[in-house]
Structure 1
Amino acid sequence: MKNYLKFLVLILFVSCGNDKKNTTELVQVKQTTLANHIERLASDEFLGRKPFTEGEVKTINYLKDEFEKLGLLPGNGNSFFQDVPMVEISGTPSENMIISGKSGKINLEVFKDFVASTNKVVTDVNLENSELVFAGYGIVAPEYEWNDYEGIDWKGKTAIVLINDPGFKSGDSTLFKGNEMTYYGRWTYKYEEAARQGADGVIIIHDTEPASYGWNVIESGWSGSHLIIESDLPLLNVESWISDESAKKMFDISSMKGQDYKTMSREKDFKPVLLDLKVSVGVKNKIKKDVSKNVIALIPGTERKDEFIIYSAHWDHFGVSKAIEGDSIYNGAVDNASGTAGLLAMAEAFKKSEAIKRSVVFIAVTGEEQGLLGSAYYSEYPIFNPKKTVANINIDALDSPGKMKDLTITGYGQSEMDEYAKEAATKQNRYIIPDPEAEKGYFFRSDHFNFAKIGIPALYASGTYEGFDKSIEDIKAYNDNYRINKYHQPSDEYNPETTDLSGVQLDLQLFFNVGLKLANEDYFPKWYDGSEFKTAREQ
């Protein structure tokens, strides 16, 4: 009997020891916490969470209060807030863009043939007989030994560039990343690089297939007002697009008449070409300034407090706008009350786990729907040293009709964060797949991108392809229904009786597990060779 009691004591001792050792592994991201926060944030009370409205005030104070209740510390000194100064620019372009040379003149009509805007906070900008230069894809990529701006003094000149990058539809998987769009292919990059080169303006040639959207998207997206953050970075006088048809007319009166400008732009030895043309166009602006806020909360590490894992999600949506079927509040339950609530649910899980060695930061950013503005501001004015920031895990629009077998990684192949995600997915009996539409550049369309731009390896993923209990076809139909009937519509609402959050919880648990591993080791994940963000990390 005495030996039996000793045996029981030994089992109890071992069990207690194992329980203590594995406490962090047993912590779950609570689905009830997630559901409660989504229901609240997506309610009409928050008025669609638009920056500069009562909805913003309610949202940021709700997040601050909830982080405080969990025992998190302010992430910006003594404050939970980071001011994000924004400017609303209502631009009116000139009725015509005039392109002229020795061989002729073309008069392009606004919206039908071209769009034009500026991010300069001034009432008037112009290109007045600015010299036009064809700059291929408008790319400077040292890792590919590529420079489309080489050999030209760009002061007083306007660059004409192609959308996407040389790899698209080239048939060569080693040219950039083949069909997968790199950041060099995004229109935002084209404007940024031309400004760095000292050009006065850029005109991007629209082409539906490489752009992944039609001219109608350009026409609507570049009309009316837009929000920007004020910046010390160089800016162009005019940022513009022209239609493919207009571009062909332009080349017909240029020094390149008859040349295949698209094919020649794929050649590694391409050099910019003076077109013997000049362009004139202007934009008149009305300007309004205001301040929005990022919400930042911190769990300090126990051993390496100056090393950080950042979780991010955008809190904003479209507020109260055009009524559809009698509903004018754009609640944004999936986009992105799901991610914002996920921050709170994961913060709760971290506070319940054992002490962590590195610090963990939760950032709810503003202005994503206006162009990733809150994360862009943070990347320009980071609170935590980017060189000491281990990784970013971004959460945007989590939605599924149940638990998913897959974890689809947007930007797969960029960094070693893929390996962390794969390890965590395997433990959930899930598999990893790359984004099946990588040519559309989704990696560059959510807030993780701005962390990547300053060299921080980022993970952006979710289950979107195959369910444990639902087929690939069922999931596609579910996703199509959301995209067609709910995305950016008042109908993106939360219904606790019909919404299954088990798949969202599974994704969040994976993100928590990845962050927990990173928080308790001393390794810094690296960008893979060939990533356009590797240089930023190493500089």
Structure 2
Amino acid sequence: MKKIVPLAILLAVTQVACNDAKQEVVKKVPEINQQTVTNDVTYLASDELEGRATFTPGITKAAEFIAKRFKEAGLKPLDGLQSYEQSFSLYNVKADSVAVNLNGEAISSENVAVATSNEMLNWDDSTPVALTVIGKDDDFRAKVGELNQRGGSNLVVIDPAHEGMFKRYQAYFGGGLNKFEINTNNTLVMVVTPLTDIKSLAVNVTNTVKTQALSNVVGVLPGKSKEVVLFSAHYDHLGVDEQAEGDKIYNGADDDASGTTAIMNLAQYYRDQGDNQRTLIFSAFTAEEIGGYGSKYFSTHIDADNIVAMVNIEMIGKPSKFGAGKFWMTGYERSNLGPLMNESLKSINTEIYPDPYPEQRLFYRSDNATLARLGVPAHSFSSTQLDKDKHYHKASDDVASLDLESMTQVIKSIAIGSQALVDGKATPTRVDTSKVNKSGLIY
């Protein structure tokens, strides 16, 4: 016989069950905490890390700290790695001796600059070398840029009117080139001379090649899909200037301890949320300041076709020209990532603005460009007022120069703006690679 349950008891039991069910489906609301943000950026920009220059003990300490924060967030190493560090090597190729003779006349080393990946150069009249003349009225940067895109062996004779610009390139090349491969025969030999008709040449260069180790720090929050949303920032900076008077440490609080702090806190945010449909990768890139080598290496060890978006965070430590807590995006017109994120940002009555400094070509000046060249909707997100920032690449770029409340708000907005990407509900258009400048072959 079926036992009859009193109605009052049945209602009470039903109410308890409903309450339990509600508790089960209520998600934990993640938080991006300003005090944690402050702690992270303060350590990364501390004097202890001595400016986080590539190949220094300071950047090693930074990497260890980022890895610790990734572990706390419950991230996993990238597939194939045993730790969060994605280690690789670069060759530094630096001229040891240079001798150039044109039309039987020895050229002073003060008027010669060499950029090459070769251990040695021994050119003579039989060597297939392309000659380029940069005349008084020519666009120096444009002509050299074209050669960099083309590659090969190039002799460039430069009218003395361009001596000032030549000296800048000479100083840059003087530190040596960092290369993944050597002896690729991609070379520039630049000579300041009034000569334009080169009938004979002799170029002899001996280089010192040094191998240097470095690491990205990469953590993964696996999702239900193999599609990837990549959050990135670079954690290197300029190190110490021993010749400077006063403060010698370039702490890089805004550039880019702020962005690195953002990805660490976003990792914790999405881990706490706990239901990402897409796989999330958080990468702190090394060697951005010396040529973007961290992102270049990363891009060759991942299937870029699986990356649906790259949110690269670069200098968010100060209020933008649009106000505190507001930020903008490079290459806004190259995909519809910005408009998609703005749909999510309507919920907090804010938006991402297009890059207000297009003349600065910032799309190409951070790690996003490397992935954009592979078609990824890869953009940098920033709040810096680059035209007014007195601290950019200065020792004064320390935590005291930051607006931590504004910075925290930007991170929160990026989290909300990225939610549809993370949930797999929004997929931005790919970047048209035919409209993205290729990376240089020589330097």
The residue aligned with 1:267 is none
SS in 1 for 2:59: helix
* 8 Å contact from structure 1 (residues 87, 229) kept in 2: yes
Q: CA deviation at 1:315?
A: 1.3
Deviations 1:105-162 (A, max 9, x none): 88765454x5212123x2x12443377xxxxxxxxxxxxxxxxxxxxxxxx2326398
Please say if 1:391 is aligned against 2:391: no
SS in 1 for 2:174: coil
The residue aligned with 1:31 is 34
Q: CA deviation at 1:292?
A: 1.0
Mapping for residues 332-371 of structure 1, pairs under 5 Å: 332-371=252-291
The residue aligned with 1:231 is 181
Describe the shift of the 1:326–1:457 C-alpha distance in structure 2 as closer, same or farther (beyond 3 A).
same
Mapping for residues 320-331 of structure 1, pairs under 5 Å: 320-331=240-251
Mapping for residues 16-27 of structure 1, pairs under 5 Å: 27=30
Please say if 1:69 is aligned against 2:72: yes
Describe the shift of the 1:160–1:29 C-alpha distance in structure 2 as closer, same or farther (beyond 3 A).
farther
Q: Structure 2 unaligned segments of length 5 or more: list them.
A: 1-10
Question: What is the rounded CA distance, in whole Å, between the counterparts of 2:360 and 2:210 in structure 1?
Answer: 33
* 8 Å contact from structure 1 (residues 463, 503) kept in 2: no
SS in 2 for 1:62: helix
The residue aligned with 1:299 is 221
AA aligned opposite 1:356: N
Range moving further from structure 2, 71-80 or 524-533 = 524-533
Describe the shift of the 1:128–1:397 C-alpha distance in structure 2 as closer, same or farther (beyond 3 A).
farther
Deviations 1:34-69 (A, max 9, x none): 111011111122222223322233121111111111
* 8 Å contact from structure 1 (residues 38, 337) kept in 2: yes
The residue aligned with 2:297 is 377
Q: Quick one: percent identity of the two aligned structures? A: 25
Question: What is the rounded CA distance, in whole Å, between the counterparts of 1:186 and 1:508 in structure 2?
Answer: 41
Q: CA deviation at 1:299?
A: 0.3
Q: CA deviation at 1:359?
A: 0.4
Q: Structure 1 unaligned segments of length 5 or more: list them.
A: 1-5, 132-155, 163-167, 169-180, 254-275, 466-474
Describe the shift of the 1:250–1:55 C-alpha distance in structure 2 as closer, same or farther (beyond 3 A).
same
The residue aligned with 1:91 is 95
Describe the shift of the 1:524–1:432 C-alpha distance in structure 2 as closer, same or farther (beyond 3 A).
closer
Q: CA deviation at 1:531?
A: 5.0
Please say if 1:194 is aligned against 2:150: yes
Describe the shift of the 1:242–1:42 C-alpha distance in structure 2 as closer, same or farther (beyond 3 A).
same
Deviations 1:43-98 (A, max 9, x none): 12222222332223312111111111121111243321111212222224635463
Q: How many residue pairs align between the two structures?
A: 417
TM-score, normalised by the number of residues in structure 2: 0.79
TM-score, normalised by the number of residues in structure 1: 0.66
**Counterpart pick for 1:58 among 58, 61, 65:** 61
Question: What is the rounded CA distance, in whole Å, between the counterparts of 1:291 and 1:216 in structure 2?
Answer: 29
The residue aligned with 1:125 is 121
Mapping for residues 481-500 of structure 1, pairs under 5 Å: 481-483=390-392, 487=393, 489-495=394-400, 499-500=402-403
**Counterpart pick for 1:116 among 111, 114, 120:** 114
Deviations 1:240-293 (A, max 9, x none): 4566xx5xx555x4xxxxxxxxxxxxxxxxxxxxxx866543432112212111
AA aligned opposite 2:86: Q
* RMSD (CA atoms): 4.0
The residue aligned with 2:5 is none
Question: What is the rounded CA distance, in whole Å, between the counterparts of 2:155 and 2:411 in structure 1?
Answer: 41
* 8 Å contact from structure 1 (residues 333, 494) kept in 2: yes
